Structure formats: C-alpha cells, structure tokens
Structure 1
C-alpha cells in the first residue's frame, strides 16, 4: 500500500525547496519575500510558502492546489492560508502583489480553454502592477527524451519517511502534438511496483505562450532561458516568465 499521503511525502523528498541548493528556489524566493501578498498556484505541499513564513514574511501567503493529500501536508503549518482548488479558482479581486506557479505546474494546464480560464483568473487575482512568475520547459530541449528508466540520471533511490527503501523513475507513454503523457513509478529496490503516477504535460513554445498571456491581459516584463536570468536562446531548456497586470 502506497497511499496518497505517501505520494505527497515522497514529493517533498524528491523536490526539497532549498534556495541554497536549488536554482529555481533561488530565483523565486526573493520575489516571494519582497511581495506583501503572494498566491502560490499549484502549491503542492506548500514548501515555498512555509519557508517564506519561517524566514519572517509577515504578509498574506495563500497556497492553492487541487490535491487534498498535498494540502493535508501543507496544513501542518497553520499560519499560511491553504485553499483547495485549481488555477481557475484564483480569487477575482483578491489583490495579490505576486502570483507564482513553480515546479513546472503551468504545464498541467492542457487545453486552450483551461489555459485561458486559468490565466484570466490569475490576472483577476492580482492587483494592478501585480506580477505572475512561473516557468515552463522549452519544447526545443525535448526534456521527455531523458525521462526513462534506462537513463541513470532519471532513476532515484531513496528512503522515505516511513523508513522504506524506494526506487523512482519515469517512462513516456505518448507524445501527441504538444502534450506528453508520462508515468512515474514508485517501486521497491527489487523492482516490485508500489504505485504508478500518471501525468500529462503541455509544452508551449515562446510565441504560443506569450499569445495566451497577452490575451489574458498580461504584459511580459521579462523572460529568461535559465535560472541565472540569461536570455532565451536556441539552447534554452526553460521559459521563465515574469508577467505583469497593468
């Protein structure tokens, strides 16, 4: 038995939020700490907002996620607001100074309608001058080609909070247009499968992404191809965006 709660705990082990060790956390954390109010869309277990509070953030921090098990884990810290819901549920008129979508959560918005509805909601949840910071993998890098158990860099061996030795890896089921369907497998070290986690990801290029943002009323303040704020080039693996509600 590998429960939803176990999956949420495993996520924290696989994705520790540490600005001293992770370049994406190092990018987002100063933005969060400088903003009076923050809405973290797709907050998961809430690691980023928890750390912000631990480091003295005194403003409003709200985490939004549809995953009940992840939110149960987030709610272990009560001085942050945790709300069950999708990006489309971002509160209109809430007046946030900053909205974020980290961990490539933006790629879980799959259809044009879902993208439009979600971006409109996030735009509506920001105050004038408020910013939306997020990232999506650049399709030109074809990251999915490395998501396979035959790639040693994609296989993780670890011990979870319950003391179980585990192995985790990905497989790609399909690539159809700009949608990639993957499986994450949680197994015992001998390969005995405990849980299979399916996910669909959308890979938008810069032009398509920016068209959605502009249609939702955003102006693009900056876009980067890496976490050191380098420009987007033919070798970029990321499209890191800061967009503004004017």
Structure 2
C-alpha cells in the first residue's frame, strides 16, 4: 500500500515559484510535482514575466492600497534594494491603521523568463500544455505581466 497521494491537478499560486532562488530549488519542486501527478495530471503556476520589469514600478511613490473588509485599508509600498540578473531584492513597508509604526519585510524573488522556465520543465518531465501572458488568457510575450503555465505529466 502506498501512502503517496497522486493528483490529477495541482496549482502553485501567489507567484510562489519566484521564491525558488537557485537552480536546484525549481528542479526539486518540479520533480516533486511530477511525482505527485497522475499520468496526464496537470500542474498550473504563475510567475511574473521579467520582460515586463514589474520591479521598476516598486517604489515608495507607487503605493498599493489593500482593503481589509470593513476596516481601514493598509497601504503597502515596495522599495527595490538590488537587481542582479534574475534576482530582485526589495523591502515592503505596510502602514497598518491603528498601529504606531509601519511594518517592514525583506523579500527576494527570481524573475525567470519563459525559456528558462521551459528548460526546468523539460528537465523535470511535465510538458507545457498551455501558456498565457495574463489572467484574461492573453498571449504570453513582451509586455505581458505574467507567465501562466499549465503543464501535464506525460506517461513514463
């Protein structure tokens, strides 16, 4: 009896793929996903397209308001500290209503292009079924904000 559960469909959301900073991390993650999928099972995930250069708008002059239901909204700003190839290091600042001081969080993200993503997928085994450039199903390519990938496990 196997205690490993297999899935017909798995997703990774919230740009979580971007926290896989070294080459070993996406390889291990995709190998684990492939192992967890049934033959023909699909894996969907998104990452920001580096060609859109989203980090260039992450400044203290471009705040994002995050609504909190009936409570007052929280104001978030991001300040890029460094860009080194695919790696972007930044600080997020959250101004939370009714708190005496802002909260700060440091983050590092990897902006992999479609070719590099394809390379990691080809190594791990899930074959790309579909790829989109935004959440409306638009085509990927220069200027699209996302690389949304749906990959399928092919039979061994």
**TM-score in terms of structure 2 length:** 0.86
Alpha-carbon offset, residue 233 of structure 1: 2.5
Q: Which residue of 1 aligns with 2:91?
A: 183
Q: Which residue of 2 aligns with 1:199?
A: 107
The higher-RCO structure (CA 8 Å, 6+ apart) is: 2
Task: State the distance in 1 between where 2:144 and 2:75 align.
Answer: 30
Task: State the distance in 1 between where 2:73 and 2:140 align.
Answer: 40
* Bigger proportion of residues as strand: 2
Cα 1:205–1:180 change in 2 (3 A) is same
State the secondary structure of the residue aligned to 2:143. Answer: coil
Say which of 131, 137, 149 aligns to 2:60: 149
Q: How many residue pairs are counted as aligned between the two chains?
A: 152
Give structure 2 stretches of 5+ with no counterpart.
none
Task: State the distance in 1 between where 2:67 and 2:119 align.
Answer: 41
Structure 1 residue 94 and structure 2 residue 2: aligned?
no
Q: Which residue of 2 aligns with 1:128?
A: 39
Structure 1 residue 167 and structure 2 residue 75: aligned?
yes
Task: State the distance in 1 between where 2:23 and 2:95 align.
Answer: 35
Cα 1:165–1:141 change in 2 (3 A) is closer
Cα 1:146–1:96 change in 2 (3 A) is same
Q: Which residue of 2 aligns with 1:111?
A: 22
* Bigger proportion of residues as helix: 1
Deviations 1:51-104 (A, max 9, x none): xxxxxxxxxxxxxxxxxxxxxxxxxxxxxxxxxxxxxxxxx9421011101111
Matches within 5 A, 1:1-246: 93-151=4-62, 154-156=63-65, 158=67, 166-188=74-96, 193-246=101-154
